[in-house]
Chains A and B, each alone.
Chain A
Amino acid sequence: QKEVEQDPGPLSVPEGAIVSLNCTYSNSAFQYFMWYRQYSRKGPELLMYTYSSGNKEDGRFTAQVDKSSKYISLFIRDSQPSDSATYLCAMSLKRGAQKLVFGQGTRLTINP
């Protein structure tokens, strides 16, 4: 069993929809949680960085962490075609995102 599980999709939704992306993990020692966005043939770029349980909002993006359930989510409101990408969750034991453990990535398409 992988330490971090993420539904690979693909996920296709109409423009303007609310998107929910999720990851579950097995190692309760993970302390830092990240979401990366990766456009086709590009390197991943950091979207959200959270520590401990709770919500963090940044514009149209909300990251949610539930450590008791070992479950993290990323919500995208008012989705745009430019949000079409692969979204990767990542986790770390240490501050500074060292030794990241990634989910498989979810391929998301927003249809105009």
Chain B
Amino acid sequence: NAGVTQTPKFQVLKTGQSMTLQCAQDMNHEYMSWYRQDPGMGLRLIHYSVGAGITDQGEVPNGYNVSRSTTEDFPLRLLSAAPSQTSVYFCASSYSGSLATHSGQYFGPGTRLTVT
């Protein structure tokens, strides 16, 4: 199993540009989520999905869109990049329901995004 994969690893954008961060998992997890990590702030939840076709907002959703057309993929779209979106972005997945006992979220390696 590859686990949770993210592409690209690094990206530099100019203010106003748009892009999509890719996330995929091969563990058949129902639950997927996106976090951003900033110095001194820990990880903050951007958007999450409890299954294909179902998404919802987390703590810091503004400026980001998501969709979940398959169980495996959960892309994060930046609509019009701003310097405040400079961060490290992590995708995570986990089981839900009865399989969720004693399991946490599995995180990808992250995408380092700089907006100039």
Contacts and interface: CB of A to CB of B under 8 A. Distances in A.
Interface in B25-62: 31, 33, 35, 40-45, 48, 50, 58
Interface range on chain B (Cβ under 8 Å from partner): 20 to 34
B80 interface: no
Nearest to B43: A102
A44 interface: yes
Interface string A28-63: 000000101000011111100100000000000000
A104 interface: yes
B101 interface: yes
B75 interface: no
Given A43-B107, A43-B110, A49-B104, A96 B40 contact: no
B100 A97 contact: yes
Central interface residue in B43, B50, B109, by most chain A CB within 10 Å: B43
B42 A105 contact: yes
Contacts of A98: 31, 33, 48, 50, 94, 96, 100
Contact of A88 (B42, B50, B58, B94): B42
Interface of A: 4, 6, 8, 34, 36, 41-46, 49, 88, 90, 95-105
Given A42-B110, A49-B104, A98-B33, 10 more contacts: A36-B107, A44-B90, A45-B107, A90-B43, A96-B31, A96-B97, A96-B101, A98-B31, A98-B50, A103-B42
